[in-house]
Amino acid sequence: MSDIAINQVLAQMRSMASQAAAEPKMGTEAADGAGFSSLMSQSINEVNESVQASKVLARQFESGDPSVSLAEVMVTAQKASLQFTGMAEVRNKLLNAYQEVMNMQV
């Protein structure tokens, strides 16, 4: 593969932004606990797939595969890192909210 074009990255960012804007409008499913757990599970799976894809590209580059460029490896690694960091922050916020609820006086 050749270097990743900036237009491709911008197109991916725009599509992800439009998906993120559409997701909060789920209606009754968002209020349901099953909807939340499936959304969290799907998000975790997507982050895992991204990290695995990053590792595969890195291994291909390290083994000298000419179809993988350094720029592609670095962009993929940064995307995976950002997704993982975001997931960790969401987890931390959920744990803090849970602890606050458990410490409430009834």
Question: Per residue in 12-26, pLDDT tens?
Answer: 777 777 777 776 555
Q: Is the pTM of this model over 0.75?
A: no
Give percent of the chain above pLDDT 70: 81
CA distances from 73 to 23, 26, 56, 70, 102 (A): 29, 35, 9, 5, 43
Q: What single letter denotes the amino acid at residue 11? A: A
Domain locations in the chain as residue ranges = 6-102
Q: What is the mean pLDDT of residues 42-71?
A: 93
